[in-house]
Every structure is written in C-alpha cells, then in structure tokens.
Amino acid sequence: MIIYEADGGSTIVYILSGAVIGYIMYSFFKAKKSMNKPPSENIKILTDDSFDKAIKTGVSLVDFWAAWCGPCKVLGPIVDEIADEIGNKANICKLDIDRNQKTAAKLGIRNIPTILLFKNGKPVDKFVGVKPKGIMLKAINRHL
C-alpha cells in the first residue's frame, strides 16, 4: 500500500516499502536455510548398484532428484519429514539421477522431481513435481 501525502508523506512510503522488502528477504533466507540442511537420518541414499535390493521387499518411496533442480530442493525437506514420520514402516529413499543414470533411464524418469512408490519391487504409484506431504503419506499408508 502506497500512501502519498503532500508534506512529509513520502516517509510512510519508505517505511512500508522497507518493511515489505525486509519480510521478503527474511522469508527467502528462512526457506533457503531449510533447503540446505542435511537429509534425515531415516533416508536411504540409493545408487544404481543398491537400488534393486533396497526396493525388493516392503513399501519403498524413492525420490528421483538432482542437485541443480530447484523444485527438488523444495521437495527434499518434505521427503525428510515423511521419513521421520514413517520410521521403519516403509523405506524412504533418494536417488540422484545425475550420478545414477542407469536406474533413472530404466524406469523412464524424464522429469524431476519424480517420486515412485514401490511395493515388493513393483511400482504402484508415481508423483511428478512437488506434492504435499499428505498426499504421499496417504499413498504410502494405502500400500502398507
């Protein structure tokens, strides 16, 4: 909101503008800080070599991501929260597609972030793009 007053009103404009810019910068750095924290201890980092064994039994959620992908950085903390909430009921995993291109190609991963949900080694659900935590938790619980 910009308020103009004939005598001295521009001060209000500067104060309001400063407050808005300050809030935007605070929000940006707060979000950036949460995106740069290390993954949850409950996350399994997969490779081309470990992938098949990791998803072979039970329910596994695999986040296909890359370090340069902005939406992947947004989804990362959500996957971490899921891993902390689910615990040992399901395998919550991440696979860097730049370092593990064979698995990504074999599964036809063309867009990232992509989340694949496996049950006993077979894909049962797929999410492309950033999705809310609740949607992914419901899918996991449906297959437990």
Angle at CA of residue 50, ends 46 and 51, nearest 5°: 70
Are the CB atoms for 133 and 78 separated by under 8 Å? yes
93 is catalytic: no
Which of 12, 66, 69, 78 is an active site residue?
69
Distances (CA, A) of 63 to 27, 59, 76, 119: 26, 13, 8, 15
Taking each helix axis from N to C end, the angle separating 10-35 and 70-86, rounded to the nearest 10 degrees, works out to: 60
Nearest CA to 141 among 82, 101, 62, 56?
A: 82
69 is catalytic: yes
Which of 55, 72, 79, 82 is an active site residue?
72
Q: Which residues are catalytic?
A: 69, 72
